[in-house]
A and B are shown apart, each in its own frame.
Chain A
C-alpha cells in the first residue's frame, strides 16, 4: 500500500483515510501525535496500544500459535515467532518513510511464507480447517476495508456527500489493484473499457481472484461444510444462516458503484462477516 499513499496528491488526506477506514481516528488523536505520514505508519507498525497494528496482530497470532503448538507444524510456530521478534525489535527511529517499504515487504513476505508453510506442512485435520476458515474470513474483511479506503479518502477531501462522490479516479483504482496483487489478472480478464466499477467488482465478486471477498467467502463455506461432513462438527442453524447470508450478499448482480453506494454495501458485508465470526465463536469457542 505504500505506493498508493506515498504518491498521493495530498498525503495527510491519504493517511487520514487509512485511520478512518479502520475507525482508528479517535484512538490516534488520543496519542496526541501530529497527523503525519510517518506517525500514522508507526502507529500501524509498532503501536502496542493499537489493536490494529502489525505488532499487536503478530503478538496475538503468536499467542494463538502457542496454544496450538501441540497440533500445528513446528515450522509454522517458528515462522510466526521469528516474524514477531523482527517487528517487536524495531525501534521507532528505525521506522522511517525511506525504510517503510522494506519493513512492509518483510512483513508481507513473512506472512506469505507462513501461509505456504501451513499449506505445505499442516496435517489436514479439523485444526487445519479451523485455521483456514479463520484466514478466509479475515481476508474477506481486509479486502472490504481496502475497498473502503477510497470512501474515506473522498470524504476527508470534502466531497459533496449529497451529490454522491467525486469523479471516480481510475489511476487510484489501478494502484489499489496493484496493492492487492490483482492488477495484471484484472487487465487480462477485462476489456479496455473496464473502469472503477469493474475494478471494485473484481475485488468483491471475481470467483477466481485469490483476494476477492467472494472467493474467500466460498472457501470459508467449503471449510465449514468439510468440518460438518468429515468431523461431525454440527455448525447448527445460526452458523449456517450466517454463512448463507454472506454468500447471498455476494451473488452477482449486486449493484456496485464506487462512492457512497459502495461504502453502504461494504458496510453490509462487514456486518455479515461479523455475524459469521460471532456465530463461529459462540458455537465453537464459547464459554461452554
Chain B
C-alpha cells in the first residue's frame, strides 16, 4: 500500500468489509487500493460537496413538508463506491431470482388453492388475517402468474461475508432512481476514479422495466400502452416517479387522468380523446387504488381498476395484495416457502427470526431483549425498531409490554454485525455499515439490475441505514 494513503488506518473489524474483505480481487486492488488510495480526504470532500450540489440542482431529491414549507433534500451521497465482485454477484443474482420465483408461487397459491396453508407449512391465520391479504384477489388470474413485477430485496452481509435477506419488498420498492443517478453522477464527477473501471452498466434499467411490463400485458395485446401512476407531486418519492416514466418513455399519470368504462376497459384522457391503457405501474398503495373496492374516500386512485384487472383488461404492477408476502412474520417462513414450491434449498439465507406469535419463541425474545433487534411486523422505514444492545432499560420495558399485549405484531432477530464499506467522514476514510437493495424486474422471467441501492449509515457504529433516519447512499459497482 502506498505511503500515507487514504486506507492506511482503515480497519473495519469485526465487521466484514466490502472492500478489504475482497482485497484479492484484482479489480478491487486496482480501483481501491491503488487508485482511490492516492486521493486526499480534503479533495474528496470538496468533490463530494459539489456532487451533492449537482444532485440538488438536478432535483434528484425527496421532498419533506413542514406545514406550508417545502424542502427538497438530497440523499447524502458518499463518493466511495461499494464494490461487489463478479462471483458474489452471481450468487446474489441467482438467489434473488429464486426468491422471486418462490414469492410469485406463494402469492398464486394463497389467492387460489391455498395448498401451502392446508399443508400447514405456513399458519393459515398469518396469511388470511393479514392486513395486506386481499380477499378481492382470490381466484384472480394474472399474466404469467406474476405478482411481483418489481422487487427490491433488502440484503445485508454477516461477519463472514455471507449475504442474508433482511426483507422482501414486494409492494413498491423505491430507490432505483438513485442507483442510476448515483452512477451518472460518479461518471460525471469522478471520471478519474471510473476510467477503465470494469463496472457493469445500470443505465438501461428503464428499457428492461418496460420490456418486462410489456411481457405482462393482458393476453392479445402486443404493443401495450404502459403508464406510470403516481399519487401526485406531493409524494415524497415524486422524483422517482418522474424518473421512471422518463426512462421508460411512458406517460406519468394520476388516478384522475384515467377512467374505466362499462366494458371494464381502462382509458387515459388525452387532448386527442381517450387512449386505451393496458399496463399500470402504480406507485400508490393498494388501499388507495380503487375507491369502488377499497377506501371509498380515496381521491388518488381510479374507480373500477379492480374490475378491469379481474376482467383481464389491464395489468397492475405490482399486483394488488402482494404486501402479504413481504410481511415481516411471513418472512420468517421464506426458507420453507422456497423449499415447498421450488424443491430447492434457498440460495440466500434469512436472518434468524423469532416469531412472537409462537409462544416458545416469544418467551425467548422476552428473556433476551437486550441481545435482540425487535421489529413491529407492519411497519416500514425503520420505524418502531428497538435495537436491544443499544437500548435503554426503559425502552426494553416498554417494548416488552407491547409484545405481551400483541405478540403477533412482533418479530425479533439476533443483532447482526452489518458489513461495512469505506466511507468518507470528517475524520478521513472510515468503515460505515451498509446494506444493499438489488432491484429485479419480472415478466416471463426475471432480470436483476447489476447494481443496487447501497444505503450507508453515516453515523459511526449506527446500523440504521434508512433515509428517513439520516442514512445516505453510494454508487454500487458490480465488477466483471
Interface residues of A (CB under 8 A from B): 2-3, 6-7, 9-11, 37, 96-98, 100-102, 170-171, 174-175, 178, 184, 186-192
Q: Are A3 and B196 in contact (CB under 8 A)?
A: no
Q: Are B248 and A187 in contact (CB under 8 A)?
A: yes
List 7 additional contacts besides A2-B191, A188-B250; criterion CB under 8 Å: A6-B187, A37-B195, A97-B191, A98-B190, A171-B203, A187-B206, A192-B211
Chain A residues near B211 (CB, 8 Å)?
Answer: 192
Q: Are B204 and A6 in contact (CB under 8 A)?
A: no
With A and B bound together, what is the CA distance between A108 and B47 in angstroms?
21
Q: Are A171 and B201 in contact (CB under 8 A)?
A: yes
- Does B223 make an interface contact (CB < 8 A)? yes
Q: Are A191 and B192 in contact (CB under 8 A)?
A: no
CB distance from B331 to the nearest CB of A (A): 34
- Does B246 make an interface contact (CB < 8 A)? yes
Q: Are A6 and B189 in contact (CB under 8 A)?
A: no
Given A11-B195, A186-B249, A174–B204 Cβ distance below 8 Å?
A: yes
Contact of A174 among B192, B203, B214 (CB under 8 A): B203
With A and B bound together, what is the CA distance between A187 and B206 in angstroms?
9
Q: Are A7 and B210 in contact (CB under 8 A)?
A: no
- Does B207 make an interface contact (CB < 8 A)? yes
Q: Are B187 and A2 in contact (CB under 8 A)?
A: yes
Chain B residues near A37 (CB, 8 Å)?
Answer: 191, 195
Q: Are A98 and B210 in contact (CB under 8 A)?
A: no
CB distance from B289 to the nearest CB of A (A): 26
- Does B167 make an interface contact (CB < 8 A)? no
- Does B247 make an interface contact (CB < 8 A)? yes
Q: Which of B256-278 contact A (CB under 8 A)?
A: none
CB distance from B249 to the nearest CB of A (A): 3
Q: Are B188 and A188 in contact (CB under 8 A)?
A: no
Contact sample, A vs B, 9 pairs, CB 8 Å cutoff: A3-B184, A98-B47, A100-B191, A171-B204, A174-B204, A187-B247, A191-B223, A192-B211, A192-B214
With A and B bound together, what is the CA distance between A9 and B203 in angstroms?
15
Q: Are A192 and B207 in contact (CB under 8 A)?
A: yes
Q: Which of B191-222 contact A (CB under 8 A)?
A: 191-192, 194-196, 198, 201, 203-204, 206-207, 210-211, 214
CB distance from B49 to the nearest CB of A (A): 13
Chain A residues near B195 (CB, 8 Å)?
Answer: 6, 11, 37, 97
With A and B bound together, what is the CA distance between A37 and B195 in angstroms?
9
CB distance from A183 to the nearest CB of B (A): 8
Q: Are B247 and A101 in contact (CB under 8 A)?
A: no
CB distance from B132 to the nearest CB of A (A): 32
With A and B bound together, what is the CA distance between A37 and B247 in angstroms?
29
Interface centre among A97, A98, A171, A175 (most CB of B within 10 A): A98
- Of all chain A residues, the one with the shortest Cβ separation from B197 is A7
- Of all chain A residues, the one with the shortest Cβ separation from B191 is A6
- Of all chain B residues, the one with the shortest Cβ separation from A101 is B188
With A and B bound together, what is the CA distance between A188 and B247 in angstroms?
9
Q: Are B203 and A98 in contact (CB under 8 A)?
A: no
Chain A residues near B250 (CB, 8 Å)?
Answer: 188
CB distance from A174 to the nearest CB of B (A): 6
With A and B bound together, what is the CA distance between A97 and B47 in angstroms?
12
Contact of A184 among B196, B203, B246 (CB under 8 A): B246
With A and B bound together, what is the CA distance between A188 and B203 in angstroms?
16
Q: Is the interface of B mostly helix, strand, loop or mixed?
A: helix
With A and B bound together, what is the CA distance between A186 and B206 in angstroms?
13
Chain A residues near B196 (CB, 8 Å)?
Answer: 9-11
Chain B residues near A101 (CB, 8 Å)?
Answer: 188-189, 191
Q: Are B249 and A190 in contact (CB under 8 A)?
A: yes
Contact of B194 among A6, A174, A184 (CB under 8 A): A6
Q: Are B189 and A98 in contact (CB under 8 A)?
A: yes
CB distance from A197 to the nearest CB of B (A): 16
CB distance from A189 to the nearest CB of B (A): 7
Chain A residues near B187 (CB, 8 Å)?
Answer: 2-3, 6-7
How would residues 38 to 63 of chain B score, 1 for a CB under 8 Å from any chain A CB and 0 otherwise? 00000000010010000000000000
CB distance from B300 to the nearest CB of A (A): 24
- Of all chain A residues, the one with the shortest Cβ separation from B47 is A98
CB distance from B312 to the nearest CB of A (A): 22
Q: Are A97 and B192 in contact (CB under 8 A)?
A: yes
Chain B residues near A189 (CB, 8 Å)?
Answer: 249
Chain A residues near B206 (CB, 8 Å)?
Answer: 187
CB distance from B35 to the nearest CB of A (A): 12
With A and B bound together, what is the CA distance between A177 and B136 in angstroms?
44
CB distance from B228 to the nearest CB of A (A): 12
With A and B bound together, what is the CA distance between A13 and B404 in angstroms?
67
Interface centre among B50, B188, B210, B247 (most CB of A within 10 A): B188
With A and B bound together, what is the CA distance between A100 and B204 in angstroms?
24
CB distance from A89 to the nearest CB of B (A): 20
Q: Are A192 and B210 in contact (CB under 8 A)?
A: yes
Q: Are B194 and A7 in contact (CB under 8 A)?
A: yes
With A and B bound together, what is the CA distance between A170 and B207 in angstroms?
11
With A and B bound together, what is the CA distance between A208 and B471 in angstroms?
43
Q: Are B184 and A187 in contact (CB under 8 A)?
A: no
CB distance from A82 to the nearest CB of B (A): 20
Chain A residues near B47 (CB, 8 Å)?
Answer: 98
Q: Which of B374-402 contact A (CB under 8 A)?
A: none
How would residues 347 to 386 of chain B score, 1 for a CB under 8 Å from any chain A CB and 0 otherwise? 0000000000000000000000000000000000000000
CB distance from A3 to the nearest CB of B (A): 5
Chain B residues near A102 (CB, 8 Å)?
Answer: 50
- Of all chain B residues, the one with the shortest Cβ separation from A188 is B249
Q: Across the A-B interface, give the 6 residue pairs with the lowest CB-CB distance, nearest first.
A: A187-B249, A6-B191, A188-B249, A101-B188, A97-B192, A97-B191
With A and B bound together, what is the CA distance between A233 and B190 in angstroms?
51
Chain A residues near B248 (CB, 8 Å)?
Answer: 187
With A and B bound together, what is the CA distance between A188 and B245 in angstroms?
9
Contact of A98 among B192, B207, B223 (CB under 8 A): B192
Chain A residues near B188 (CB, 8 Å)?
Answer: 2-3, 101
CB distance from A50 to the nearest CB of B (A): 21
With A and B bound together, what is the CA distance between A268 and B194 in angstroms?
37
CB distance from B479 to the nearest CB of A (A): 13
With A and B bound together, what is the CA distance between A191 and B338 in angstroms?
36
CB distance from A24 to the nearest CB of B (A): 21
Chain A residues near B192 (CB, 8 Å)?
Answer: 96-98
With A and B bound together, what is the CA distance between A57 and B223 in angstroms?
46
Interface centre among A37, A171, A174, A187 (most CB of B within 10 A): A187
CB distance from B240 to the nearest CB of A (A): 15
CB distance from A151 to the nearest CB of B (A): 22
With A and B bound together, what is the CA distance between A2 and B198 in angstroms?
17
Chain A residues near B190 (CB, 8 Å)?
Answer: 98
- Of all chain A residues, the one with the shortest Cβ separation from B188 is A101
- Of all chain B residues, the one with the shortest Cβ separation from A10 is B196
With A and B bound together, what is the CA distance between A37 and B204 in angstroms?
25
With A and B bound together, what is the CA distance between A174 and B204 in angstroms?
8
